[in-house]
Structure 1
Amino acid sequence: MKKTLLYLTCVLAVVFSACDNMSTKTEATHNEASEATADTAVAFENENSPDSAADGSIVDVDASGDADWNNVDMNLPNVDWPEFKGSDVEVRGNNRYSVYSVGEDVLFDTDKAEIRKGAEENLRKISSSIAQRHKDGQVRVYGYTDAQGSAGYNKDLAEKRAEAVKNWLQKNGNIAASRISVHPVGEAKPTASNETAKGRQQNRRVEIVVRNS
């Protein structure tokens, strides 16, 4: 009888221990799954957030919370505006947005963020066009680089250059500071291959995007 009770006691102890281990494992598994789900959500949010520094995408809302910027297509068709005939400015647009694109070699010296004197005529034409065609539309200045050098350096250079263009437009183009924002993209959104000198030159650019008011 004593042996039977001892045997039953051992069996129960083993069963309770197994249940406890299973509960512990289940809880740990649940926690891991929850953490994985949370991490996945964060990764998904970062991947899809247009404001993500990692992918350099367009910010989807402006300071007023307007989400229209999320629908900007930077690859709009070219437009032929007479004010830019013979200039170094390429203009693309539709009935909602206009994109003024200027090469880095036009605006800046290599690895510099100070606007060249020779570039000011192009910026004057852009600011005059904005005043004529867009009135009070919001203005965003995007800075792009090629992929040479580190991503961090390129992002920093893109920001300094975009900031320099913003300051010029504000000071000399009579565009209110409240209308202009800076969006450094760096190397994240190439328009051409970084494997060739010609492609890298195309990637080094500043694009001024204006929303029709």
Structure 2
Amino acid sequence: MKRTALCMACAITMAFTACNNVDEKTEATHDEATEATADTAVAFENENSPDSAADGTIVDIDASGDADWNNLDADLPTVDWPEFKDTDVDVRSNDKYSVYALGENVLFDTDKATIRKSAEANLQKISASIAQRSKDAPIRVYGYTDAKGSAGYNEGLAKQRAEAVKNWLVKNGNIDASRISVHPVGEAKPVRSNATAAGRQQNRRVEIAVRNS
């Protein structure tokens, strides 16, 4: 009888200690993830959204943990490259990156992710420019939306559109698929106010970013 009581006491003690350890670990993880910033997001990337820190901040980290892409939006000046004269492509560039931007109204019908036939000439010019200026450098395709609809829907649409552009570049632009990664941002990074129709239209876009070689 005494042995049975002793065994039961030991089992209760061990269970209580294990629960405390789990609680402490969960609390510590929660605190660290809540405090994660763009600088520490490598360790706390959202499982369902690899470009998001635990607090929802968009962080551009590639598969190798390279956070250097975080500077992609920082003061990239518009450039006037001759190959894009009289096109719908906006180009920004500095010594590290080049970004080719196309509006939704150029690439897609409303709420669709099938590339318009009329957009292919622009994509072909982008492919030729990348081949000329960036050779074998890594490429990222970012999909953006306005803020109408749910965040989940917008991210899904952004992903489909970015993947459509990637697939076009691989199939028709002679760019190896291993160079291109897809990054659905959705509504998170507007360039204009979502309060106006004109602003929302500018927010609906795809940007092809290339690390300069």
TM-score, scaled relative to structure 2: 0.79
1:49 aligns with 2:41: yes
Give the direction of change, closer, same or farther, for the CA distance of 1:176–1:93 in structure 2 (3 Å limit).
same
Q: Per-residue CA shift, 1:151-210, capped at 9, x if unaligned?
A: 000000000000000000000000000000000000011111000001100100000000
Counterpart amino acid of residue 143 in structure 1? G
Give the direction of change, closer, same or farther, for the CA distance of 1:75–1:202 in structure 2 (3 Å limit).
farther
Q: Aligned runs of 1:80-95 on 2, under 5 Å?
A: 80-95=80-95
CA displacement at 1:40 relative to structure 2: 1.7
Q: Per-residue CA shift, 1:73-125, capped at 9, x if unaligned?
A: 35411001000011000000101100101001100000000000000000000
CA displacement at 1:32 relative to structure 2: 7.2
Query: Could you tell me how far apart the structure 2 residues matched to 1:136 and 1:63 are?
Result: 17
CA displacement at 1:72 relative to structure 2: 2.2
Q: Aligned runs of 1:77-156 on 2, under 5 Å?
A: 77-156=77-156
RMSD: 2.4
User: How many residue pairs get matched?
Assistant: 186
Contact kept in structure 2, 1:75 and 1:92, CA below 8 Å: no
Query: Could you tell me how far apart the structure 1 residues matched to 2:66 and 2:26 are?
Result: 33
Structure 2: gaps (5+ residues): 1-19
Structure 1: gaps (5+ residues): 1-27
Give the direction of change, closer, same or farther, for the CA distance of 1:57–1:36 in structure 2 (3 Å limit).
same
CA displacement at 1:45 relative to structure 2: 2.8
Query: Could you tell me how far apart the structure 1 residues matched to 2:22 and 2:175 are?
Result: 53
Query: Could you tell me how far apart the structure 2 residues matched to 1:57 and 1:123 are?
Result: 26
Normalized per residue, the structure richer in helix is: 1
Greater shift after overlay, 66-75 or 117-126?
66-75
Query: Could you tell me how far apart the structure 2 residues matched to 1:39 and 1:211 are?
Result: 35
Contact kept in structure 2, 1:56 and 1:189, CA below 8 Å: no
Query: Could you tell me how far apart the structure 2 residues matched to 1:97 and 1:108 are?
Result: 25
Q: Per-residue CA shift, 1:18-41, capped at 9, x if unaligned?
A: xxxxxxxxxx8x997775443120
- Classify the secondary structure of the residue corresponding to 2:36: helix
Query: Could you tell me how far apart the structure 2 residues matched to 1:36 and 1:135 are?
Result: 47
TM-score, scaled relative to structure 1: 0.79
CA displacement at 1:66 relative to structure 2: 3.8
Query: Could you tell me how far apart the structure 2 residues matched to 1:170 and 1:90 are?
Result: 21
CA displacement at 1:57 relative to structure 2: 1.9
Give the direction of change, closer, same or farther, for the CA distance of 1:135–1:112 in structure 2 (3 Å limit).
same
Contact kept in structure 2, 1:74 and 1:99, CA below 8 Å: no
Query: Could you tell me how far apart the structure 2 residues matched to 1:160 and 1:46 are?
Result: 28
Quick check: which has more Rg, 1 or 2?
A: 1
Counterpart amino acid of residue 175 in structure 2? I
